Homo-oligomer: A and B are copies of this chain.
Amino acid sequence: VTREFRVVQYGLGAIGRMVTRALAERPDFQLVGVIDSNPEFQGLDAGAVAEIGRPLGMTVTGDPQKVLRAGIADVVLHCTGSSLPAVYPQLELCLRAGLNVVSTCEELFYPWRRHGDLARRLAALAETHGATLLGTGVNPGFVMDVLPLLVTNVCLNVERISVTRVLDAGTRRLPFQQKVGVGLSQGEFQRRHAEVGMGHVGLTESISLLADSLGWSLDTITNDIEPVLAEQSLSTQFLDVPEGQVKGIRQIAQGLSSGSPVITMRLEMAVDTVDPRDVIEIEGTPPLRLRIDGGVPGDPATVAALLNAVPGVVAARPGLLSPRDLPLPHWRVGKLMEAGANRA
């Protein structure tokens, strides 16, 4: 018997370590290489870094070139950052080795609008080297784009799409709470927003994929961010928030066509949240309203979307694709293969 998919894990941040833990439980995935730039991780077994409680027999290396060579893996699972310009050299290395890549990089999900030039270069590299490149996850990748896009399948006409995602940052990791500004003063929030930009990366990509898929041409995509303030003092597992300070972020992005919003994304990420949920509303024929109580939990869903994309990506044509280009992605039971059956 053998394992169906040989995988290089590229990046051992919070999501990368979760991916590694998930891989270790799957009989169909075999880890064949682990890359991370953190010097503290290098030379350690990936099982130790991912806190699995047993070695995985794979040592973390800081030098991607030692790992990324033709034929070493069926796919690279890439989890190093949100910014496409920042991760571009890493993706280029993978593609030049002819390796398929599934990445959590939010700006890679549908990069044609924000980073058209990089997107064209990645597409050309992928095609030249016979590799498939896909960005996916829960958001972007599912709740605010792929799922609403599928829902339009039962519509005769679509006039407007709204997606609201309200998530309880109180259940999330410390870096996530920090990312959404929990505990900052309003001044600190605005200062940090002016300096490095606050808010979720990916709404522009979700809106672009929807608009292009539906055949809507957009004038512009707006993106507005404001802090959500604590009405009374509160504490999370990690942080204290005095009354009037920031407990999270509210972000509204809109795609405008002829000056009017046709796609609206509302994303609220705060602690002490009432009624976390995902809601998709289609104005059209028929109108439809779909609700996921509690909302799709971000971290496990992103890890799942990454692993569940692998069979489709391995079978796909070369190129820079998005999930809508592939057969319907879904979970399936991980099974050991009969020896040789996977290399047919």
**Using a CB–CB distance below 8 Å, which chain A residues touch chain B?**
22, 138, 142, 146-147, 149-158, 213-216, 284-286, 288-294, 296-297, 300-301, 303-305, 307-308, 323-333, 335
**Measured between alpha carbons, how far is A248 from B331 in the docked complex, in Å?**
35
A285: which of B149, B153, B290, B300 is its contact (CB, 8 Å)?
B300
How many copies are assembled?
2
Residues of B within 8 A of A284 (CB): 331
Residues of B within 8 A of A146 (CB): 150, 153, 328
Residues of B within 8 A of A332 (CB): 213-215
A154: which of B149, B304, B326 is its contact (CB, 8 Å)?
B304
| Contact A330 to B152, CB < 8 A, known contacts A285-B300, A300-B285, A335-B215 | yes
CB A61 to nearest CB in B, in angstroms, measures 26
A292: which of B214, B290, B304 is its contact (CB, 8 Å)?
B290
Residues of B within 8 A of A292 (CB): 288-291
| Contact A303 to B333, CB < 8 A, known contacts A147-B150, A150-B147 | no
Residues of B within 8 A of A147 (CB): 150-151
Are B142 and A331 closer than 8 Å at their CB atoms?
no
Are A150 and B330 closer than 8 Å at their CB atoms?
yes
Residues of B within 8 A of A213 (CB): 330, 332
| Contact A300 to B325, CB < 8 A, known contacts A153-B330, A305-B153 | no
| Contact A154 to B305, CB < 8 A, known contacts A288-B292, A290-B291 | yes
CB A1 to nearest CB in B, in angstroms, measures 16
**Measured between alpha carbons, how far is A309 from B297 in the docked complex, in Å?**
31
Whose C-beta in chain B lies nearest to the C-beta of A335?
Answer: B215
Residues of B within 8 A of A156 (CB): 22, 300, 303-304, 307, 331
Whose C-beta in chain B lies nearest to the C-beta of A154?
Answer: B301
Which 10 A-B pairs have CB atoms at the shortest separation, nearest pair first? A215-B333, A154-B301, A152-B331, A324-B328, A215-B332, A153-B329, A156-B304, A149-B330, A286-B297, A152-B330
Are B291 and A330 closer than 8 Å at their CB atoms?
no
| Contact A328 to B149, CB < 8 A, known contacts A154-B305, A296-B286, A333-B216 | yes
